[in-house]
Amino acid sequence: WARAVRGLLLDVSGVLYDSGGDGGVPIAGSVEAVRRIKASGLKLRFCTNETQATREKFVKKLQGMGFDISVAEVTAPAPAAYRILKERSLRPHLLVHNDLVPEFAEIDKANPNCVVIGDAAENFTYANLNEAFRVLIGMEKPVLISLGRGRYYKETDGLKLDVGAYMKALEYACDVQAEVVGKPAKAFFESALAEMGIPPQEAIMIGDDIVNDVGGAQRCGMRALQVRTGKYRPCDENHPHVKPDAYVNNLAEAVDVLLQQL
């Protein structure tokens, strides 16, 4: 799996660090692994479904942990959703984390004609979900845009429900199919590859999510590895539909193998 590689796409939460209420902690060896990737000359994109903060705030947190990362290197759902809203003249009702709202500051939100849902965390109250439901159910052709469809993720105090669970509730209640922006959407991975300027067969995705990271990347023609960190569980290795090109214990191990091939 490590041959003829020109670029890497790295998931962030669960691969570089475990998030948490205290800001989170780096996964052992990941800071040095990112430094080694950059020193090798390989192209690199950080592909995240993070929707609890703006890219600027998110990157600043990672820099504080010691990671060599810039906003320009991050592919994230909110900026992609912003472009869709602008292109289609959509006015969103936002069901997102308070810290993500600035990403949509320039968008008209009066008289909404769509709902945008992200990982709203504590904002996922019954009242807020019901308000989003009422916006959708009142439309002749409801539009639901979801910033990912993850089932759960890992924080320092354990696993947490992700946006996908709430997205599915609104889909069911409103008889609507969400438009997913972020992993595992093909357009999300294709955008990252275009920014790197390399074809999918010369790129590897490294993630902790068997479906959204690994499966999504493989459907785009990339190789994909699953790390045994973050949300990984041993049952992932018996997944009925997705088989990673390899399992690695962590990002550092993947980089060790990869750089031996260069």
pLDDT tens digits, one per residue of 19-61: 988 889 999 999 999 999 999 999 999 999 999 999 999 999 9
Range of the domain at 208: 7-49+183-260
- What number is the average pLDDT over the span 127-151? 97
Say whether both 175 and 84 belong to one domain. Answer: yes
Say whether both 204 and 251 belong to one domain. Answer: yes
10 with 225: CB under 8 angstroms? Answer: no
Say whether both 160 and 251 belong to one domain. Answer: no
* CA–CA distance, 255 with 251 (Å, rounded to integer): 6
Say whether both 128 and 161 belong to one domain. Answer: yes
Residue 148 lies in a domain: yes
Indicate the number of domains in the chain: 2
Say whether both 81 and 124 belong to one domain. Answer: yes
> What does the pLDDT read at residue 217?
98
- What number is the average pLDDT over the span 191-210? 96
Residue 61 lies in a domain: no
Say whether both 172 and 203 belong to one domain. Answer: no
Residue 16 lies in a domain: yes
> What does the pLDDT read at residue 23?
85
**Could you tell me the CATH number of the domain that includes residue 85?**
3.40.50.1000
To which residue do tokens 């105090």 refer?
A: 157
Say whether both 176 and 241 belong to one domain. Answer: no
Say whether both 187 and 253 belong to one domain. Answer: yes
- State what percent of residues in the chain have pLDDT above 90: 97
Say whether both 154 and 220 belong to one domain. Answer: no
Mean pLDDT (the chain, rounded)? 96
CB-based burial label for 220 (10 Å; 0-12, 13-18, 19+): buried
Residue 66 lies in a domain: no
> What does the pLDDT read at residue 22?
82
- What number is the average pLDDT over the span 54-72? 96
Say whether both 175 and 82 belong to one domain. Answer: yes
Residue 40 lies in a domain: yes
> What does the pLDDT read at residue 243?
98
Say whether both 170 and 254 belong to one domain. Answer: no
Say whether both 242 and 158 belong to one domain. Answer: no
Residue 29 lies in a domain: yes
Residue 63 lies in a domain: no
Instruction: Tell me which of 144, 163, 180 is where a domain ends.
Output: 180
- What number is the average pLDDT over the span 173-196? 95
Asked if pLDDT for residue 262 goes beyond 90, the answer is no
Band of pLDDT at residue 180, cut at 50, 70 and 90:
very high
Instruction: Tell me which of 180, 202, 222 is where a domain ends.
Output: 180
Residue 54 lies in a domain: no
Sequence-distant contacts of 231-240: CB under 8 A, at least 24 apart: 231/14, 231/152, 231/153, 231/154, 231/159, 232/14, 232/208, 236/210, 239/210, 239/211
Band of pLDDT at residue 167, cut at 50, 70 and 90:
very high
Asked if pLDDT for residue 189 goes beyond 90, the answer is yes
Instruction: Tell me which of 158, 180, 202 is where a domain ends.
Output: 180
Pairing of strands 92-95, 74-75: unpaired
H or E element at residue 114: strand 114-117
